């Protein structure tokens, strides 16, 4: 029993230090920075790349929002990769004004493979582009997106994540859960790190990459979370990513629990693949580069599944001590609450703070806030499930919301008035 007490204290110390570090870094989101000086002053030429699989219902709105960018129309092209499509995605995208590439590969279906296939061709063509931006087919894009990303290029940044907002945050408790999660991460993870010179991470869609970054090899990723994998590979090289709060893209979130479970399971498996592949390299990078940025990247990968495992082990140790009559029932109950309250209730407080700071209307999100512990709790169950059963097959999330950028803007104005 003495050894269990020692192990418990060590694991608790690790958890406390880890979360105190995260809290201190999160406070850096309150830092206001001056704009960086330009290292070059020009309007760059962009590719807007949209990997799409059977997205005929939503692809038109995305293409139209990109066509309406407040940016020189001669300086960007819109490409749609119709990836293993069996519907009219290619025809709808072409009619809307996109340049369409059709791809068929039944063995390699993820976005990462589609990007590699497309970018390899553009590299071989020596295409005349300075950078590319990647979007999911269900997105709609704020008209200032390319202008904002051009500014980042002028400031010398070469990989930048935009602000991933939500099309449908108030549909139900599931979409609200996604919205609260993203808003919290944007403020307290990505922005906080960017403010003090650490590295944010790519977030799946709405990001920009300087074309030279992927030359000559192209987009090389193998896991189910190609965005995180690409980010970690950059951090291993000692290169930080950028963040652009004013480059906004709106994303549609799943409305059913089954689809959400499938999507978050895929993300979790992808994270576990990254843990297996890149943890050692991230640790070596800390020793090689000796920067807080690299150490923070290493903490990100060990702070996902490994911290969950430590928490589970602590719960089991407390149960064992209680069963061994070395802990009272009341003490055991308090110990359980010490884990459950921060895990399930603290996210409500942090998300409300993030919403307040970013001027998000709280009233429409009240039901979502009350259900947020259910959303986050289900994610813990997904993580535990994926420790033992990892499905690596890609399953499409259906996107059906026919929402235009003007409708998103109008709804946001109405919500602020009501607030």
Report how far residue 70's alpha carbon sits from residue 219's, in angstroms, rounded to the nearest whole number.
Answer: 28
Mean residue pLDDT of the chain comes to: 91
Predicted local confidence at residue 97, as pLDDT:
96
Predicted local confidence at residue 227, as pLDDT:
95
Predicted local confidence at residue 397, as pLDDT:
65
Segment 347-366 shows an average pLDDT of 95
Maximum Cα interatomic distance, the chain, rounded to a whole number of Å:
75
- Say if CB 192 and CB 27 are below 8 A apart: yes
Predicted local confidence at residue 343, as pLDDT:
79
Q: How far apart are the first and last CA of the chain?
A: 55
pLDDT above 70: percentage of residues in the chain: 93
Predicted local confidence at residue 110, as pLDDT:
84
Helix (H, G, I), strand (E, B) or coil at 307: helix
295-323 pLDDT per residue, tens: 999 999 998 889 989 988 988 988 888 88
- Whether the predicted pLDDT of 415 surpasses 80: no
- Whether the predicted pLDDT of 107 surpasses 50: yes
Predicted local confidence at residue 401, as pLDDT:
59
Segment 225-236 shows an average pLDDT of 96
Segment 227-245 shows an average pLDDT of 96
Q: How far is CA 320 from the centre of its chain?
A: 37
Name, in order, each residue with C-beta under 8 angstroms of 337's C-beta and a sequence gap of 6 or more: none
- Whether the predicted pLDDT of 392 surpasses 80: no
61-96 pLDDT per residue, tens: 999 999 999 999 999 999 999 999 999 999 999 999
What is the DSSP annotation of 136-160? -TT-EE-TTHHHHHHHHHHTT-SEE
What proportions of the chain, in percent to the nearest 5, are helix, strand and coil? 60, 10, 30
pTM over 0.95, yes/no? no
Higher pLDDT, 4 or 27: 27
- Whether the predicted pLDDT of 407 surpasses 70: no
Confidence grade of residue 410 (pLDDT, cut at 50, 70, 90): low
- Say if CB 206 and CB 245 are below 8 A apart: no
Predicted local confidence at residue 418, as pLDDT:
45
Question: If phi over 0 gives left and psi between -120 and 50 gives alpha, with beta otherwise, what is residue 34?
Answer: beta
């Amino acid at each position: 029993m003495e050894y269990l007490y020692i192990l418990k204290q060590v694991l608790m110390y690790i958890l406390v230090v880890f979360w105190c570090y995260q809290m201190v870094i999160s406070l850096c989101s309150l830092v206001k920075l001056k704009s960086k000086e330009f290292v070059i002053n020009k309007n760059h030429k962009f590719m807007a790349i949209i990997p799409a699989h059977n997205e005929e219902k939503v692809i038109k709105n995305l293409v139209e929002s990109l066509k309406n960018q407040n940016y020189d129309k001669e300086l960007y092209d819109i490409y749609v990769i119709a990836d293993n499509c069996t519907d009219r995605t290619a025809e709808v995208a072409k009619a809307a004004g996109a340049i369409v590439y059709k791809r068929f590969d039944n063995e390699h279906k993820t976005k990462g493979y589609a990007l590699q296939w497309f970018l390899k061709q553009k590299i071989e063509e020596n295409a005349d582009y300075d950078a590319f931006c990647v979007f999911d087919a269900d997105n709609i894009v704020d008209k200032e997106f390319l202008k904002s990303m051009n500014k980042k290029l002028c400031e010398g940044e070469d990989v930048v994540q935009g602000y991933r907002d939500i099309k449908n945050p108030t549909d139900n408790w599931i979409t609200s859960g996604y919205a609260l999660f993203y808003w919290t991460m944007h403020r307290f993870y990505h922005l906080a790190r960017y403010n003090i010179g650490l590295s944010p991470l790519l977030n799946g869609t709405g990001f920009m990459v300087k074309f030279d970054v992927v030359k000559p090899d192209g987009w090389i990723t193998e896991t189910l979370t190609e965005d995180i994998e690409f980010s970690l590979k950059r951090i291993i090289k000692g290169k930080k990513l950028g963040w652009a709060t004013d480059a906004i893209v709106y994303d549609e979130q799943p409305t059913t629990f089954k689809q959400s479970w499938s999507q978050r399971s895929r993300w979790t498996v992808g994270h576990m693949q990254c843990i297996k592949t890149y943890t050692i390299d991230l640790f070596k990078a800390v020793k090689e580069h000796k920067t807080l940025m690299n150490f923070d990247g290493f903490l990100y990968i060990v702070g996902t599944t490994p911290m969950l495992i430590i928490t589970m082990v602590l719960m089991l140790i407390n149960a064992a001590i209680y069963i061994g009559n070395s802990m009272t029932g009341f003490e055991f109950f308090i110990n359980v609450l010490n884990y459950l309250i921060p895990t399930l209730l603290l996210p409500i407080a942090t998300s409300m703070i993030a919403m307040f700071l970013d001027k998000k209307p709280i009233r429409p999100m009240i039901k979502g806030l009350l259900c947020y512990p259910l959303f986050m709790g289900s994610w813990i169950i997904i993580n535990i499930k994926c420790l033992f059963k990892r499905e690596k097959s890609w399953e499409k999330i259906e996107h059906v919301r026919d929402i235009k950028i003007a409708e998103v803007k109008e709804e946001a104005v109405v919500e602020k008035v009501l607030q």
